[in-house]
């Protein structure tokens, strides 16, 4: 490989890795614990699990109980069985019709204990495992979170490929040359390369499958064109179980029981277990039962099967044999199993868990290599301060996840059942604790200190997790093993292992390691940063000063460019809304259904956020040039830009005929990119 090509790949690998490092670390760290999502739920609730065969559950008793509160007639119902616990999730669509004519359009998502029939809403049964699973793909960020995770996966795949190209020749040698006694940068470099290659197959699988799940919107875009925009047909082929049936009329016959259909399905194929039941048009003349499940892993890695029954006649309308391959269904299931480790039992989950934490180390070591490499005399003082600041933010944001997660395990154990909305309490505790930790360590400005203390806190709190479980709930390790409560035992052992490794590493990290850092050899004075930077600017050589000035030279002044772009965004959104009315002339009514003449407050807020705020930033940019304002402007521009890009792709899929509106959204998206780039330059400009 030529020197030039090597430098291109090396810089591409570095930049792509640095850009996504924090987000990627969060994905892998949260994803490691999300592998044990159901085990964490059992551990948190400290409940014994029956481990009964799913087909022996009394489904009719459950439906009868739910029907007392929510009239099921005219609804589509999904019953999803848990893999480990005794809870079943129930999804109810709005009613299509009822005997009385009063239609309930409200969707419901419930959880019910198959034994006690206790019903909880989603936010009431929310648990730490669910939180970490959602954090794994940024679900806490409304609408765009999963797409952000998808784009991070794309960049991660890019970093993997370029990393292999860059390190290919020294992969083997780094295994044998690794020596903790050499320079600090050498330690990070060798460890980054060696461990990165060890986890390469796993990381590649996660990058590909993560991109698929996170960017399913873009994945389905080509398929949408193949189906000529017929999304119903597309979904019917990809997910036949969610196919909807037109409501005909209410049946006067007694609704047959679901239990016999489930038992009949299980008997048809050996080693087949039920995972979900779908009920279409409950109480209608064309009511359907769809029983789905899969074969045991020992018989077939991917063995999905289902039978669609016409309820009143009892006839099988469609049979999907799990012993026969179905490319569309099985390809999606394969990606899911590879991504979530739903095969191989707890041993495979532990292997995935270890590899996920190794990947976290690879990410951090890559950041530390970059920080060490950029703190040298050839860099300007401003560049060195910037590198140090980025390093403090990155390290504080990532390493603090260990003690915060351990602390949250203790929090949910002590507060289990106290808060009605466990979702709200978890959000507040985890994110507030994480924010406080980040602030403290970021302004401590000592990566060595951050590393040591987070390891120590993680070890102490990690040891407390099984200890508290034993002292307050008598769930000592020997008791859970004896009582075959292996879900609870797994979580306690995982935390014991994490705490033990953390404390060993804590004592292995000696002060002499800090002395090897380039920031120890060439320290930065943060207290007098402004004065030192001003002095450094004055002492610049004439050629350097000239080049610095020429960089800021442009045909249009920076502030004027930003003002124009803000105005363009505001006008773009106004025109977008006008183009949205274009369809009224042809195929839409002027007044939307349910309109009363009064514009809802939410619509006013929507207009203000996208048009009004753009104009507000236009006015403020004319007069304000403070650093805090530049940062706020950049943050809002990024949020608006992400939404604009998302809305552009959404319009392509759902409104492909509205060409004028799509064109305007494309222009607005491009303007958002230009605005973000210029705001970043403006923020870094000292003037």
Joined together, the tokens standing for residue 185 give 């940068």
User: Where do runs of H (alpha helix) occur along 35-58?
Assistant: 37-45
Residue % of the chain over a pLDDT of 90: 24
- 567 and 610 fall within a common domain: yes
Residues contacting 117, CB < 8 A, separation 6+: 61, 62, 65
- 668 and 585 fall within a common domain: yes
- 135 and 98 fall within a common domain: no
Last residue of a domain, one of 518, 537, 562: 518
Least confident of 151-155, 166-170, 223-227, 535-539: 223-227
Residue-level pLDDT at 503: 94
Angle at 333 between CA 332 and CA 337, to 5 degrees: 120
Q: Is residue 377 part of a domain?
A: yes
- In the numeric block, the tokens 């390469």 are attached to 200
CA distance 130 to 128: 5
Which DSSP helix (H) or strand (E) runs through 292?
Answer: strand 288-295
Angle at 66 between CA 65 and CA 69, to 5 degrees: 105
Joined together, the tokens standing for residue 684 give 């870094």
pLDDT tens per residue, range 359-386: 998 888 888 888 877 777 777 788 888 8
Residue-level pLDDT at 457: 95
Residue % of the chain over a pLDDT of 70: 80
Residue-level pLDDT at 202: 87
What domain range is 363 assigned to? Answer: 3-46+131-213+344-518
- Answer yes or no: are the C-beta atoms of 213 and 339 closer than 8 Å: yes
Using DSSP, state whether 310 is helix, strand or coil: strand
Res. 1: pLDDT tops 70: no
Last residue of a domain, one of 462, 491, 518: 518
Res. 42: pLDDT tops 70: yes
Find how far residue 432's CA is from the centre of its chain.
19
Residue-level pLDDT at 25: 93
Mean pLDDT calculated for residue range 108-135: 89
DSSP single-letter state for residue 250: B
Which DSSP helix (H) or strand (E) runs through 427?
Answer: helix 422-444
What's the predicted TM-score (pTM) here?
0.74
Least confident of 171-180, 243-252, 464-473: 171-180
Residues contacting 22, CB < 8 A, separation 6+: 393, 394, 397, 398
Joined together, the tokens standing for residue 377 give 């005399």
Residue-level pLDDT at 54: 82
- Answer yes or no: are the C-beta atoms of 401 and 29 closer than 8 Å: yes
Backbone dihedral angles phi then psi of residue 272, each to the nearest 5 degrees:
-105, 135
Q: Is residue 528 part of a domain?
A: no
- Helices 401-415 and 381-399 meet at what angle, rounded to 10? 30
Residue-level pLDDT at 542: 47
In which band, very low, low, confident or very high, does the pLDDT at 261 lie, cut at 50, 70 and 90? very high
Among candidate residues 21, 142, 116, 98, the one with its CA nearest the CA of residue 62:
116
- 500 and 394 fall within a common domain: yes
Least confident of 2-11, 271-280, 449-458: 2-11
Q: Is residue 336 part of a domain?
A: no
Residues contacting 126, CB < 8 A, separation 6+: 421, 422, 423, 426
- 362 and 422 fall within a common domain: yes
CA distance 414 to 412: 6
- Answer yes or no: are the C-beta atoms of 464 and 410 closer than 8 Å: yes
pLDDT tens per residue, range 405-451: 999 999 999 888 788 778 888 999 999 999 999 999 998 888 889 99
Count of beta carbons in the 10 Å neighbourhood of residue 629:
16
- 357 and 433 fall within a common domain: yes
Residues contacting 344, CB < 8 A, separation 6+: 297, 351
CA distance 451 to 385: 20
Mean pLDDT calculated for residue range 23-49: 90
- Answer yes or no: are the C-beta atoms of 675 and 633 closer than 8 Å: no
In which band, very low, low, confident or very high, does the pLDDT at 625 lie, cut at 50, 70 and 90? confident
Residue-level pLDDT at 552: 45
- 491 and 395 fall within a common domain: yes
- 41 and 64 fall within a common domain: no
Q: Report CA-CA distances (Å) from 609 to 143, 182, 637, 641.
A: 16, 54, 11, 13
Residue-level pLDDT at 588: 47
Res. 129: pLDDT tops 80: yes
CA distance 323 to 189: 48
- Answer yes or no: are the C-beta atoms of 129 and 424 closer than 8 Å: no
- 367 and 458 fall within a common domain: yes
Joined together, the tokens standing for residue 214 give 């996170």
- 558 and 626 fall within a common domain: yes
Q: Is residue 225 part of a domain?
A: no
Q: Is residue 178 part of a domain?
A: yes
Query: Number of folded domains in the chain?
Result: 3
CA distance 409 to 466: 10
Among candidate residues 552, 551, 577, 547, the one with its CA nearest the CA of residue 664:
577
Residue-level pLDDT at 87: 85
Res. 285: pLDDT tops 70: yes
pLDDT tens per residue, range 323-355: 887 776 777 788 888 888 888 888 999 999 999
Mean pLDDT calculated for residue range 224-244: 63
Least confident of 35-44, 379-388, 449-458: 379-388
Q: Report CA-CA distances (Å) from 100 to 72, 159, 594, 606.
A: 13, 60, 22, 38
Joined together, the tokens standing for residue 404 give 């915060």
Least confident of 100-104, 266-270, 501-505, 658-662: 100-104
Joined together, the tokens standing for residue 509 give 């990290």
Last residue of a domain, one of 292, 327, 362: 327
Mean pLDDT calculated for residue range 280-294: 91
- In the numeric block, the tokens 């039962």 are attached to 289
Mean pLDDT calculated for residue range 266-284: 90
Least confident of 446-455, 590-599, 604-613: 590-599
Res. 159: pLDDT tops 60: yes
Angle at 13 between CA 10 and CA 17, to 5 degrees: 145
- In the numeric block, the tokens 């790949």 are attached to 9
In which band, very low, low, confident or very high, does the pLDDT at 258 lie, cut at 50, 70 and 90? very high
In which band, very low, low, confident or very high, does the pLDDT at 265 lie, cut at 50, 70 and 90? very high
- The beta strands (E) that lie in 238-335 are given as 272-280, 288-295, 304-310, 316-320
Which residues are bridge partners to 120 per DSSP?
111
CA distance 30 to 32: 5
Residues contacting 312, CB < 8 A, separation 6+: 251, 253, 256, 285, 287
CA distance 130 to 137: 12
In which band, very low, low, confident or very high, does the pLDDT at 65 lie, cut at 50, 70 and 90? very high
CA distance 557 to 149: 36
Please, what is the average pLDDT of the chain? 81
Mean pLDDT calculated for residue range 615-623: 82
pLDDT tens per residue, range 560-592: 888 888 888 888 777 766 655 545 444 444 444
Least confident of 407-421, 595-609, 664-678: 595-609
CA distance 213 to 338: 12
- 256 and 206 fall within a common domain: no
Q: Is residue 155 part of a domain?
A: yes
Q: Is residue 40 part of a domain?
A: yes
Q: Is residue 124 part of a domain?
A: no
- 141 and 41 fall within a common domain: yes
């Amino acid at each position: 490989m030529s020197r030039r090509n090597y430098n291109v790949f090396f810089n591409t690998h570095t930049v792509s890795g640095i850009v996504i490092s924090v987000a990627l670390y969060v994905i892998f760290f949260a994803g490691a614990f999300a592998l044990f999502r159901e085990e964490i739920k059992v551990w948190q609730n400290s409940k014994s699990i029956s481990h009964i065969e799913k087909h022996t559950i009394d489904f009719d008793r459950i439906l009868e109980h739910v029907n007392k509160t929510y009239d099921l007639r005219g609804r589509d119902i999904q019953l999803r069985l848990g893999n480990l616990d005794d809870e079943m999730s129930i999804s109810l669509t709005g009613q299509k019709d009822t005997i009385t004519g009063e239609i309930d359009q409200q969707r419901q998502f419930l959880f019910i204990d198959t034994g006690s029939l206790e019903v909880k809403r989603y936010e009431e049964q929310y648990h730490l495992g669910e939180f970490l699973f959602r954090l794994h793909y940024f679900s806490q960020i409304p609408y765009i979170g999963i797409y952000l995770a998808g784009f991070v996966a794309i960049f991660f795949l890019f970093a993997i490929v370029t990393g292999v190209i860059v390190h290919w020749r020294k992969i083997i040698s780094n295994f044998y040359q690794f020596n903790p006694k050499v320079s600090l940068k050498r330690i990070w470099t060798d460890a980054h390369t060696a461990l990165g290659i060890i986890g390469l197959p796993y990381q590649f699988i996660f990058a590909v499958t993560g991109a698929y799940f996170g960017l399913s919107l873009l994945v389905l875009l080509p398929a949408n064109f193949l189906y000529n925009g017929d999304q119903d047909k597309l979904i019917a082929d990809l997910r036949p179980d969610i196919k909807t049936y037109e409501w005909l009329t209410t049946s006067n016959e007694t609704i047959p029981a679901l239990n016999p259909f489930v038992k009949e399905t299980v008997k048809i194929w050996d080693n087949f277990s039920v995972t979900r039941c779908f009920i279409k048009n409950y109480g209608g003349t064309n009511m359907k039962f769809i029983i789905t499940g899969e074969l045991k892993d020992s018989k077939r890695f991917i063995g999905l099967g289902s039978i669609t029954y016409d309820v009143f006649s009892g006839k099988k309308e469609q049979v999907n044999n799990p012993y026969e391959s179905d490319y569309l269904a099985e390809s999606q299931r394969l990606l899911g199993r590879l991504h979530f480790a739903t095969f191989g039992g707890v041993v495979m989950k532990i292997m995935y868990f270890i590899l996920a934490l190794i990947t976290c180390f690879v990410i951090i070591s890559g950041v530390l290599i970059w920080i060490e490499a950029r703190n040298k005399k050839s860099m300007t003082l401003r560049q060195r301060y910037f590198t140090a600041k980025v390093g403090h933010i990155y390290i504080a944001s990532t390493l603090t996840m260990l003690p915060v997660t351990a602390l949250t395990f203790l929090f949910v154990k002590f507060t289990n059942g106290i808060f009605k909305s466990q979702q709200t309490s978890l959000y507040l505790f985890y994110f507030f604790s994480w924010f406080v930790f980040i602030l403290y360590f970021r302004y401590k400005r000592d990566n060595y200190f951050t590393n040591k203390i987070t390891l120590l806190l993680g070890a102490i709190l990690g040891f407390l997790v099984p200890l508290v479980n034993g002292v307050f709930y008598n769930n000592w390790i020997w008791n859970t093993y004896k009582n075959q409560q292996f879900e609870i035992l797994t979580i306690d052992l995982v935390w014991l292992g994490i705490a033990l490794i953390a404390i060993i590493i804590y004592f292995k990290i000696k002060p002499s390691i800090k002395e090897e850092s380039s920031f120890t050899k060439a320290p930065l004075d943060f207290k007098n940063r402004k004065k030192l930077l001003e002095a450094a600017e004055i002492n610049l050589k004439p050629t350097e000063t000239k080049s610095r000035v020429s960089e800021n030279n442009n045909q249009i002044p920076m502030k004027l460019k930003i003002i124009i772009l803000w105005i363009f965004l505001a006008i773009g959104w106004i025109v977008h809304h006008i183009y949205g009315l274009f369809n009224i002339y042809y195929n839409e009514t002027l007044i939307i259904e349910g309109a009363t003449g009064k514009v809802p407050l939410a619509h006013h807020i929507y207009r203000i956020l996208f048009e009004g705020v753009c104009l507000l930033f236009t006015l403020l940019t004319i007069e304000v040039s403070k650093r805090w304002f530049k940062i706020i402007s950049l943050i809002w521009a990024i949020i608006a830009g992400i939404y604009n890009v998302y809305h552009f792709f959404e319009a392509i899929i759902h409104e492909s005929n509205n060409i004028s509106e799509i064109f305007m959204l494309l222009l607005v998206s491009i303007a958002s990119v230009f605005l973000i780039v210029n705001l970043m330059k403006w923020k870094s400009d000292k003037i």
